[in-house]
Amino acid sequence: MSKMHLKLKVNGKSVETLCEPRELLIHVLRERLNLTGPHIGCETSHCGACTVDMNGMSVKSCTVFAAQVQGAEITTIEGLAGPDGMGVLQTSFREHHGLQCGYCTPGMITRAHRLLQENPNPTEEEVRFGMAGNLCRCTGYQNIVKAILHAASELNASKEAAQ
């Protein structure tokens, strides 16, 4: 199969690579662009470990072909860091122990980021519903929900302070 010249923006930077059109986005990110934050879990879109933000939507990168992302804007967990290291969600996950083994964490945080863009002040029920496509085999979700709700309040407080 012939290679395609793929141009896209990843974590705010323009990137180019050669890949097969049928190559999955998760493999392009990990193997061609060396972004190993998104993890390969089930490869069937059930677990969410590979979740990235694409053009303002959460997508499971194990089900997106390279040919579908030409010119797209992609944000991975690596792109969510703050200027001094970890971003608000990452810090909240650490402080509220919203992780155990950490395998699902990059996808969880990336999905939570989009959820808080869509709904900056969610209820516990809305967080649980919004995160339903991302599975964790370790935590029982309680601390993940707490971490997201705490991050939402921190983000809202910083917005109010800036006004």
| Domains, in order of start, for the chain | 4-79 (3.10.20.30), 81-162 (1.10.150.120)
Distance of CA 90 to the CA centre of its chain: 11
pLDDT value at position 54? 98
Residue 83: Cβ within 10 Å count: 5
pLDDT value at position 44? 87
pLDDT value at position 1? 66
Q: Please tell me whether residue 1 adopts helix, strand or coil conformation.
A: coil
Extract the residue ranges of the chain whose pLDDT is less than 70.
1
Residue 43: Cβ within 10 Å count: 14
pLDDT value at position 83? 78
User: Which whole-number Å values give the CA distances from 57 to 20, 27, 61, 111, 149, in the listed order?
Assistant: 24, 19, 11, 9, 20
Q: Are 80 and 89 in contact (CB under 8 A)?
A: yes
pLDDT value at position 149? 98
